[in-house]
Amino acid sequence: MNNKLLDTHFLEQELYKLIQTDISYFEFIQNGSLDGIWYWDLEKPENIWMSPRFWETLGYNPADMKHLTSEWQDIIFEDDLKIATENFHKHLENSNHPYDQIVRYQHKDGSTVWVRCRGIAIKDEVGNPIRMLGAHNDLTAVITLQQELAQKDNMRLLNQKLLKKSTDEIRVYDHIYYSMKSKTIRHNDEVIQLTDQEISLLELFIKNKNTLLSISDIEYLLNSNKYLSNNAVSLIISRLRKKLPLVNIKSVYGQGYMFLAD
């Protein structure tokens, strides 16, 4: 340690000495950059010292808390405890594996506190881990902001999707929309399956809404190269009416059909 200090900057050496001679400087570092430190007896794992700042972060009175592992294990989220435990054992087996994870604790008021928990094993002269020194950083404000920004971003993407859909679709009736691009019609969020002939007829009616179309007009506009009988047109219209009961296709007997729309 002394050889290491000789190689460090003189101000760093001075700071080490200040911390050793006056605990107030250590308290300043702890309170100014950390939200609690902890020191764990791995030989008697039930014993752990948690600094008062950690308990205050979670809304507890430090004087009411015991220096036992059960105190913090009872309020950490179960899934996060599993992750922390796995990293703990991996770190003890291999010091190069970092004990560093973000975990969630339940605040005394029931809210969630996000904490970055880091630690380093302290070993005896033969390499057996005997203590664990750790630090906590409260990340709740940062993660809450990230979640709010992510939610806003999701809303923005949803609005863009809805806008794209609205510009691509034609409103037929309330809650019924037709997409000229994808050739699909939907009622609310349900897509109604139509045949090619039904789609062609629907498009014809949409383009000529509130206009009387004779049978011969429909036959020609549907397929100018192929004759459709009156019965064939009637059958297609009948299928459309069945699949889309809200679509008002009026029969004008002896003359043709009219698609009534707003």
What are the pLDDT digits (tens) for 48-91? Answer: 999 899 999 999 999 999 999 999 999 999 999 999 999 999 99
pLDDT band at 160 (very low <50, low <70, confident <90, very high): low
* Residues contacting 45, CB < 8 A, separation 6+: 69
pLDDT band at 4 (very low <50, low <70, confident <90, very high): low
Which of 112-116, 164-168, 210-214, 231-235 is the most confident on average? Answer: 112-116
Strand order, beta sheet including 169-173: 169-173, 176-179, 184-187, 190-192
Q: Average pLDDT, stretch 23-50?
A: 85
Pairing relationship of beta strands 212-214 and 248-252 according to DSSP bridges: unpaired
Q: What percent of the chain has pLDDT over 70?
A: 87
Q: Average pLDDT, stretch 87-105?
A: 95
Tell me the helices (H) and strands (E) count for the chain, helix number first. 10, 12
Q: What is the pLDDT of residues 162-198, one digit of tens each?
A: 555 555 677 776 777 777 677 778 877 788 888 888 8
pLDDT band at 225 (very low <50, low <70, confident <90, very high): very low
Domains of the chain, each with CATH number or no CATH: 36-145 (3.30.450.20), 168-260 (1.10.10.10)
Average pLDDT of the chain is 84
CB 37 within 8 A of CB 43: no
